[in-house]
Amino acid sequence: MELTTFWFCLIGVLWTGYLVLEGFDFGVGMLLPVLGRDDTERRVLINTIGPVWDGNEVWLLVAGGATFAAFPEWYATLFSGFYLALLLILVALILRGVAFEYRGKIDDPSWRRRWDIAIVVGSALPALLWGVAFANIVAGVPIDADKQFTGTLLTLLNPYGLLGGLTTLSLFALHGALFLGLRTTGELRERAIKLAATLSVPTLVIAGGFAVWTQLAHGQGWTWVVVAIAALGLLGAARAASLGRELAGFAFTSVVIVAAVVLIFGSLFPDVMPSSTDPAFSLTVDNASSTHYTLVVMTWVAVVLTPVVLVYQGFTYWVFRRRLGVGNIPANSGLPRLVRTRSAENA
């Protein structure tokens, strides 16, 4: 295997890790007001991802860094052309991270409610826009002879792109519901599994439609197998949720996300960013890559450091594997909101 092909596949693996792990984070954030009926329950939901959500985002940083180093032309065209969409994702991720840290600082319902809204928006917006971005990458975008993106943000909001966004949005919500069933106890667990069974039906329709459209318009012969695996995974997740088997359901949704990434990257290859203006302007694994020496150095770095990262993250999940319930949540220790009174103002 050539190094360009190897790094194309490795970047796909990095995106797979990010979407599988960050996917349930997004799902938990989106479902916060749906499953959390009071502040204690919402704190339980947040605590299920509290020790791992920032570690999951490392996969995004590594995927972006690997793209920059291995395929600088791809990185330049992607991040300049999709600038507004990626900026919205970045702002949403920052907003969500701040909300996790600040919602408990003041013991006031209105304060926490505003930060809960920030968590929902900061989870739903990236979940939607990542799907829009990947759908447009596989379908092709307007790129000129200078490898410059010539469209706008509205160019990305086409029917196929929006269907891709709805696919990731619904799939991550289902993924998150099954994760909560896996990590919570009592009534919260029961509600999460019941919601997962409900979400599985529209997710099957939306994701199935996107997979078939992708295969018919952009897929290759062998990717029909991937579409079949994704369909079976969605059916398996729906069946597992209806039977209350959240572990099996979570495994099935993870398989679906893996299959989705394989379908997208498999449909792309050997392109990394097709041009809808002229196929001759498309970026490929060859004309967008770094020098051979750079790829060799990167490969040795990846061989040495990747196992370390995997062991560390696996250890983190093992340490924080215990289920949580409302009984595990202590009283809120945030500062009381200061109320200005007339006597205080005159003092």
- Examine the pLDDT at 347 and tell me if it is beyond 90: no
Split at pLDDT 50, 70, 90, the class of 14 is: very high
Task: Report the predicted TM-score, pTM, of the whole model to 2 decimal places.
Answer: 0.92
Question: What's the confidence (pLDDT) of residue 177?
Answer: 96
Q: How confident is the model at residue 54 (pLDDT cuts 50, 70, 90)?
A: confident
Per-residue confidence (pLDDT) for residue 337, from 0 to 100: 58
For residue 109, whether the previous peptide bond is cis, meaning omega lies within 30 degrees of 0, is no
Q: Establish if 218 belongs to a structural domain.
A: yes
How far, in Å, CA of 228 to CA of 17, rounded? Answer: 21
Q: What is the dihedral of CA 242, 124, 23, 170, to 10 degrees?
A: 40
Q: Where are the alpha helices (DSSP H) in 245-340?
A: 246-268, 292-319
**Strand-pair partners of 324:** 184
pLDDT at residue number 80: 87
All residues at 6 or more sequence positions from 50 whose CB lies less than 8 Å from its CB, including other chains: 100
Nearest to 155 by CA among 54, 105, 82, 48: 82
Residue 189 resides in a domain: yes
Question: Is 343 inside a domain boundary?
Answer: no
Assigned domain for 329 exists: no
Nearest to 30 by CA among 158, 183, 192: 192
334 in a domain, yes or no?
Answer: no
Dihedral angle over CA of 228, 234, 240, 246, nearest 10: 120
CATH at residue 151: 1.20.1630
Structure tokens at 29: 């954030």
Residues 94-135 have pLDDT tens digits of 999 999 999 988 888 899 999 999 999 999 999 999 999 999
Q: Which domain holds residue 214?
A: 3-321
Other C-beta atoms lying within 10 Å of the C-beta of residue 292: 11
Cα separation, 240 vs 233, whole angstroms: 10
Q: Write the pLDDT tens digit of every residue in 165-205.
A: 999 999 999 999 999 999 999 999 999 999 999 999 999 99
Average pLDDT for the chain? 91
Task: Work out the pLDDT band at 306, boundaries 50, 70, 90.
Answer: confident
